[in-house]
């Protein structure tokens, strides 16, 4: 069971530490102070995950069981790689038998059992390269992609939701029947067309806000479970 850290941390580091570097900007000092006092950050370090985001995926899986039985996984917006670490573990992926493909335009340190592509997911060649890298039909597509922020809320929302839509269409094109799709989205309204499309292709579509997602963050996750398959899609399109 994935539990929230309590009474701190088991790392030996005290919570409530203050950053006293007066040369730093106030906003930077506040971010660093929050980061070093975040029990999920400390727990990630303790358990060997590259980022606190690992617990978001584990919490979602605890309730929705999307990792159970997964044989091949594609991870979009994967850097620094904590979701890929989990994916490699649950699929039994190894360097000799790759079952996890990860993509990000940022550089990522290599992970055992993960084929990493340093490439923008919006590059036209990305879908084909991901399928080739994962070595077969994926039964789970996960996306933690978010557009670089501009500081303008509406612009940031639209840019990230565009990535969400592109990821959703990719999932519909590549998933095996019964597969699942998980993507980061933002509070403020998921586009009606995207929800309608996902409900057409998946048996269940829900929004999820895991406890490990910071309360002040506008991020949520959109989960589509039970892909109906492309045969059902073709039948739906027939007059």
Cite the active site residues. 184
Q: Environment class of residue 124 by beta-carbon count within 10 Å: exposed (0-12), middle (13-18) or buried (19+)?
A: exposed
CA distance 34 to 215: 13
Residue burial 184-197, b: 16+ Cβ < 10 Å; e: rest: bbbeeebeeebbeb
Q: Are the C-beta atoms of residues 71 and 137 closer than 8 Å to each other?
A: no
| 207 strand-pairing partners | 222
Residue 6 DSSP SS3: coil
**Is the omega angle on the peptide bond into residue 80 within 30 degrees of 0, that is, cis?**
yes
Give 237's Cβ-side CA count (13 Å radius). 7
Q: Are β-strands 180-186 and 219-227 bridged in parallel, bridged antiparallel, or unpaired?
A: antiparallel
What order do you get walking across the sheet with 202-208 strand by strand? 114-118, 100-104, 73-76, 140-143, 180-186, 219-227, 202-208
Alpha helix (H) residue ranges in the chain: 26-36, 39-47, 54-64, 82-91, 126-134, 153-174, 192-201, 230-237
């Amino acid at each position: 069971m994935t539990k929230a850290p309590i009474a701190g941390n088991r790392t030996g580091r005290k919570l409530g530490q203050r950053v006293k570097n007066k040369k730093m900007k106030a906003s930077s000092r506040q971010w660093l102070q929050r980061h070093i006092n975040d029990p999920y950050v400390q727990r990630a370090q303790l358990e060997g995950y590259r980022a606190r985001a690992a617990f978001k995926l584990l919490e979602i899986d605890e309730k929705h069981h999307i990792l159970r039985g997964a044989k091949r996984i594609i991870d979009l917006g994967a850097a620094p790689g904590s979701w890929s670490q989990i994916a490699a573990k649950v699929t039994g992926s190894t360097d000799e038998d790759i079952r996890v493909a990860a993509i990000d335009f940022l550089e990522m340190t290599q992970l055992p059992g993960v084929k990493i592509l340093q490439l923008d997911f919006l590059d036209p060649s990305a879908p084909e390269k991901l399928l080739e890298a994962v070595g077969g039909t994926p039964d789970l597509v996960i996306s933690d992609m978010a557009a670089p922020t501009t500081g303008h809320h509406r612009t940031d929302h639209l840019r990230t939701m565009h990535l969400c839509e592109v990821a959703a269409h990719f999932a519909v094109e590549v998933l095996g029947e019964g597969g699942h799709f998980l993507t980061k989205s933002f509070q403020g309204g998921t586009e009606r067309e995207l929800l309608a499309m996902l409900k057409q292709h998946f048996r269940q579509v829900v929004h999820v806000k895991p406890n490990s997602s910071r309360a002040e963050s506008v991020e949520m996750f959109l989960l589509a479970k039970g892909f109906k398959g492309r045969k059902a899609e073709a039948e739906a399109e027939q007059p």
